[in-house]
Amino acid sequence: MLRKPFVPLAALMSALLLLTSAGAAGYAEEAAPGTSQVNAFRAVTAVQAAKAMSPGWNLGNTLDAYPDEGSWNNPPAEETIFEDIRAAGFRSVRIPVTWDSKIGPAPDYIIDPARLDRVEEVVDWALERGLYTVLNVHHDNGNWVTKMAVDPVTGLYVDDYNRNMDKLEKVWKQIAGRFKDKSEKLLFEVLNEPNNGEWEPKIEAPTDPEYPEARHHLTPEELNAMNHRMLKAIRTSGGSNASRIVVIGAEMDNSEKAVAHLEVPDDPYLMATFHYYTPYPFISNSWGHTAWGTPEDKAELTRYFKPVYDTFVRKGIPVLLGEFGTFVDPEAYAKSYYFNAVVRASYKYGFVPMYWDNGLDNYDRKARVWRDETAKDVIVRAALGEINSFIGMRDAYFPQGKEPGDLVLPLELGGNELTGIYHGYYRLVQDRDYVMNEEQTEMTLYGGFIAKLLPARGEAGAKETLRFRFSEGADQPLNLIRFAQPVLQDTKLTIPAGALKENLKIPVQYNGTKLATARMVDAATGRPVKDEWAQGYVNR
């Protein structure tokens, strides 16, 4: 990481504020000075804001959807969302916005006033509730900011950097001008996941039959120049923007790229950012990887996070972990355990973690409920520096028609005390309903107690939930479930070539179970079928 001078006038006037260091890990010390009033501004440094922003939540797949806000899996945002997010314990929100289809033609690139009105309405809802709010330019990245042009003579891809940067600058001048008088709790993020084309096939012309889409190109030098240029456009746009916090990242918001390439101007109102979706097979619930938490898993997390701390936070540059989460729901216990590790590491290294929730994962915006209260609570409690305890599983299965035996649970108390286990209002009695070993690393639920809740003749799918409470951190649920052998209603399907036009649906009688993973194997050999690109992912 390189740090180069860029000193706005407001920075000179606020020099004394720089005595506050970001080098200390953690951020739950005290709230930064500020106000929940939408249009009242009191300058705070990025260091101060970072201490008051954790944890954060993303309004995913909403204003970043295109061509319109409701085009994807969510209805348009409502004010109640931010009431619920604040009540849940989140202290900041990120509002991704794709401006693409609402931008007029060259040379002025005027944003549709109705789009600006709508974005301002949603931003104000968040600010009115005292939430730090990150507003960005989102899928414009891949739609046009980094897209290459086609040479009309040669038919080959050519860098269209200058024209794209001119457009982005004019877009940012309009956004910054519209929001210039908002609270200091409004932050600007220059560009989400700038695409450098690294993962695209190495093709030269759009007529390539293997890849007819447009290529993308953004070198580290071009990206740094982009960040400098947009920062200048924001800083000179009037109002309070000379001392508004701005967020910048490296290629694809990748942590390793940030450490290697990201130049951060000398400006007390800047944050660096990166996203974390590792390991991909686990967070995407693919290739048989349904669990997380081995020593190797935890070492990988440290391997990515510590260099970011050393390069930025340790030197006084706050870091926004702008996105983390899971794409498809993995096993519930493993997900909570993973979230805890990511947020605890963020607390340790002084990052602000922001949970990516696209409307399908956890918070149900229509019903206004959390689909997984435990996962949400784990994030919030860990962000406050509390220790979450774990019991080794979320679901325990007992075969139908058999008396349940004792259930042994590994305990990971982390220095906490188990203060009680509850079934509804009933508090389990130690040494009668369960027993713990002397080291408090393991407990046993007696089969006799379980049998009272799940009779042997109970129907498949019957479920009773126990709740484990600890001296601090989130409660942990344990579902006791009766199951029978699941049944595939179709075990052989013949699909003529070209006949499959939509997702293949295979009817299953789950009988109290859940699908953990699916594998494709060769019928003759039983060996996994794998694509060349997936060699390292397949569960052999």
**Is the per-residue pLDDT at 395 higher than 90?**
yes
**Is the per-residue pLDDT at 219 higher than 50?**
yes
What tens digit of pLDDT does each residue of 68-123 get? 998 999 999 999 999 999 999 999 999 999 999 999 999 999 999 999 999 999 99
User: What's residue 493's pLDDT?
Assistant: 78
Biggest distance spanned by C-alpha atoms of the chain = 83
DSSP, residue by residue, 411-439: -B-TT--EEEEEETTEEPPBTTTEEE-TT
Q: What's the Rg (C-alpha) of the chain?
A: 26
| Nearest C-alpha neighbor of 170 from the set 111, 218, 211, 126 | 111
2 or 106, which is more confident: 106
pLDDT level of residue 476 (50, 70, 90 thresholds): very high
**Is the per-residue pLDDT at 21 higher than 70?**
no
Which of 33-47, 142-156, 388-402: highest mean pLDDT? 388-402
What are the CA-CA distances from residue 129 to residues 31, 35, 420 (Å)? 15, 10, 35
This prediction has a pTM of 0.90
Give the Cα separation of 321 and 255 in Å (integer).
Answer: 9
**Is the per-residue pLDDT at 382 higher than 60?**
yes
**Is the per-residue pLDDT at 10 higher than 50?**
no
What tens digit of pLDDT does each residue of 139-158 get? 999 999 999 999 999 989 99
Q: Are 438 and 416 in contact (CB under 8 A)?
A: no
User: What's residue 224's pLDDT?
Assistant: 98
Is there a catalytic annotation at residue 193? yes
Token reading at 517: 């993973």
User: What's residue 100's pLDDT?
Assistant: 96
Residue 530 CB neighbours (<10 A): 17
Domain 9-383: assigned CATH number: 3.20.20.80
Question: How does DSSP classify residue 142?
Answer: I
Give the Cα separation of 393 and 402 in Å (integer).
Answer: 21
Q: Are 509 and 486 in contact (CB under 8 A)?
A: yes
Cα end-to-end span (Å), the chain: 39
Residue 295, burial from CB neighbour count under 10 angstroms (0-12, 13-18, 19+): exposed
Cα dihedral 165, 167, 170, 172 in deg (nearest 10): -70
DSSP, residue by residue, 37-101: -TT------HHHHHHHH-SEEEETTSTTSSSSTTSSSSPPP-THHHHHHHHHT--EEEE----GG
Give residue 214's Cα distance to chain centre: 27
Residue 327, burial from CB neighbour count under 10 angstroms (0-12, 13-18, 19+): middle
3-state DSSP call for residue 280? helix
- Give the β-pairing of 92-95 and 132-136: parallel
Among 189, 193, 263, 331, which one carries the catalytic annotation? 193
Token reading at 476: 């942990």
Q: Are 61 and 74 in contact (CB under 8 A)?
A: yes
Average the pLDDT over 30-59 and give the result: 84
Among 69, 222, 263, 323, which one carries the catalytic annotation? 323
What tens digit of pLDDT does each residue of 257-304 get? 999 999 999 999 999 999 999 999 999 887 678 899 999 999 999 999
Q: What is the mean pLDDT of the chain?
A: 90
Range 67-89 burial, b when 16+ CB lie within 10 A, else e: eebeeeebeebeeebbebbbebe
Give the Cα separation of 90 and 412 in Å (integer).
Answer: 25
Q: Where are the domains of the chain?
A: 9-383, 389-540
The least confident of 84-98, 384-398, 425-439, 454-468 is: 454-468
Give the Cα separation of 277 and 121 in Å (integer).
Answer: 31
User: What's residue 463's pLDDT?
Assistant: 96
With both helix axes pointing from N to C terminus, report the angle between 220-235 and 161-178 in degrees, rounded to the nearest 10: 30
